[in-house]
Amino acid sequence: MRNAGKIMTVVAAALCLAACSNGQEPSSYPPGDGPTYPAPAPAGASSSASAAEPASGQHECTADDIKVTGDFGAKPTITIPDTCTAPTQLVTKDLQPGTGAAAKDGSSLQMNYDLSTWSDKQDKENSFGSQPFSLTLGAGQAIPGWDQGLVGIKQGGRRLLVVPPDLAYGAAGQGSVKPNETLVFVVDAVKVTG
């Protein structure tokens, strides 16, 4: 039995030496606490930035990246960041909840709005202090970004809409809005019926 114990000790020592061959030193780190290294990229993968990130290295903005100050009924201040790129999909965020029935296709809406353009970060126009903009939701009376982005808003609600060019004025532009412009709206639902 003593010989078996000696043989096991010799085998364990040999394995330990083999594991530390080729100039490697035994690790002084407890298991799981050692240094980490990047995992190798899968075959065919590139080590460059992901396709979702633009060449500039900036991420696509979310609703939380855009700062809005002001209360329902008053013209807001919209701050568009320089630290991320314009979203390529419609982005919505309720800044203040409303009450009552949620707007749906066919609802009649009266909306106050403030519009800023992404590329130059300029406040272009607003309806605060004048007549609200009236529309029937889903009837094509406004840009597609409104028909899609206002679904669910309730009377008394304030919502941020970031509308990509394909849901806004596209390659044609409109008035002071340049072609292929991303639009940033803050809208107040003055009245929702239907």
Cβ 97 vs Cβ 188: under 8 Å: no
Q: Are strands 122-126 and 108-117 parallel, antiparallel or unpaired?
A: antiparallel
Cβ atoms < 10 Å from Cβ of 188 = 28
39-68 in b/e form (b: 16+ CB < 10 A) is: eeeeeeeeeeeeeeeeeeeeeebebebbeb
Across the range 20-37, mean pLDDT stands at: 39
Q: How far, in whole angstroms, is CA 143 from its chain's centroid? A: 21
Can you name the residues that pair with 112 across neighbouring β-strands? 188
59 near 53, Cβ under 8 Å? yes
Q: How far apart are CA 107 and CA 194, in angstroms?
A: 4
The residue-averaged pLDDT of 33-61 equals: 46
Amino acid of residue 131:
Q
pLDDT digits (tens, 9 = 90+) for 137-188: 999 999 999 999 999 999 999 999 999 999 999 999 999 999 999 999 999 9
Instruction: Give the tens place of pLDDT for each residue, 51-110.
Output: 344 445 689 999 999 999 999 999 999 999 999 999 999 999 999 999 999 999 999 999
Domains identified in the chain and CATH numbers: 59-193 (3.10.50.40)
pLDDT of residue 56: 57
Band the pLDDT of 14: cuts 50, 70, 90: very low
Among 178, 156, 155, 154, which residue's Cα sits nearest to residue 165? 178
The confidence score (pLDDT) of residue 49 equals: 35
* pLDDT of 47 strictly over 80: no
| Contact criterion met (CB below 8 Å) for 142 and 135 | yes
Q: At 142, which helix (H) or strand (E)?
A: none
Rounded Cα–Cα distance for residues 194 and 105 (Å):
9
Nearest CA among 76, 126, 113 for reference residue 189: 113
What is this structure's pTM? 0.71
